[in-house]
């Protein structure tokens, strides 16, 4: 389904629950995972590959939670 409005909002809301700095990279473009405009600007489509990076005290938990959210297809399954 890609990261359009609803899933992007869910992704950003989840990212904002963590203290760590979180970035999402698509094809060399890095954006702040806590920014809805940043996430939407990536124009992520279904089956696109992105990298989630985090730095901070809860980085591992943040990555795990965001990957789980994506893998669950944002609650669609």
Q: Of the listed 4, 6, 29, 64, which one is catalytic?
A: 4
Sheet of 21-26: strands edge to edge? Answer: 29-32, 21-26, 51-55
| CA distance readout (Å), 76 to 17, 51, 70, 71 | 21, 22, 10, 10
Residue 4 bears catalytic tag: yes
Alpha helices in the chain (DSSP H): 5-15, 36-41, 59-71
Catalytic residues, by residue number, are: 4
């Amino acid at each position: 389904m890609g990261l359009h409005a609803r899933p992007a909002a869910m992704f950003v809301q989840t990212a904002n629950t963590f203290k760590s700095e979180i970035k999402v990279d698509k094809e060399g473009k890095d954006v702040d995972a806590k920014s809805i405009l940043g996430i939407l600007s990536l124009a992520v489509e279904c089956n696109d590959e992105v990298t989630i990076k985090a730095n901070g005290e809860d980085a591992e938990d943040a990555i795990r939670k965001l990957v789980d959210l994506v893998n669950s297809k944002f609650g669609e399954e």
